[in-house]
Amino acid sequence: MANSILSFDFTKSNSPTKTILWSGLVAGVLDAIAGVIVYFIFFGFNPIQVLQFIGAGIHGPEAIGGGFLMILAGAFYHFVIAYVVAIIYFFLFPKIKVLRTNIVFMGLIYGLGIWLIMNLIALPQSNIPKAPFDINLAIIGIVWHMILVGLPIAIITSKYYSKEDEAVK
């Protein structure tokens, strides 16, 4: 059994659904870990407060002091976003040739795009309490979204399509 677990390669799925589930899960978990670490360093938030903060995007500032339901809501919203960006990349990948030219670079650019859309469009429209711009937090956020969100989605998605391409040959 240990050998089967060690030989399991989640990046080589034979199903679009499994590929999307894996890429969204990996990106969501890595993003959550980074968020917890960074928000602890910058604001002293614990993991529960980070999830409540995410919940505040929909439910407003009262979610930050909210209970278990706001923790669940924050986790739910976080993974919905991770899966949405995974789905978008999965369906764009075969249609936009440049995504297949350099998987690592395109994944990093996708992560940058995710950060830009979240921070310049989504978050300003949300109910999250406004905070002054912090260049250090922005740089860290950009890097973590590039490496821990965009890159895993691109790699896992490309593995699926490369396997599909091999089947066609």
Q: Place 82 in a pLDDT band, splitting at 50, 70 and 90.
A: very high
Amino acid 39: pLDDT: 95
Question: Tell me, what's the pLDDT at 89?
Answer: 98
pLDDT at residue 24, as a whole number: 98
Distance CA 117, CA 38 (A): 19
Q: To which residue do tokens 């870990």 refer?
A: 33
pLDDT given for residue 78 in this prediction: 98
Dig out the tokens for 29 from the structure: 């978990």
Structure tokens at 74: 């924050």
Q: Which residues contact 133 (CB under 8 A, 6 or more apart)?
A: none
- Asked if residues 107 and 150 have their Cβ atoms less than 8 Å apart, the reply is yes
Position 128, amino acid: I
- Longest CA–CA separation in the chain, Å: 56
pLDDT of residue 131: 86
Three-state DSSP state, 133: coil
Residue 4 pLDDT level (bands cut at 50, 70, 90): very low
Q: What local confidence, expressed as pLDDT, does residue 31 receive? A: 98
pTM of model > 0.85 = yes
pLDDT digit string, tens, across residues 24-74? 999 999 999 999 999 999 999 999 999 999 999 999 999 988 899 999 999
pLDDT, position 166: 56
Would you say how long the chain is, in residues? 169
Count Cβ neighbours within 10 Å for each residue of 5-23 and write b for 16 or more, e otherwise.
eeeeeebebeeeeebbbbb
Please name the residues in contact with 89: beta carbons below 8 A apart, sequence gap of 6 or more: 23, 99, 110, 153, 154, 157
* Mean predicted confidence (pLDDT) in 79-93: 98
Task: Kindly report, residue by residue over 110-148, the tens digit of the pLDDT.
Answer: 999 999 999 999 999 999 988 899 999 999 999 999 999
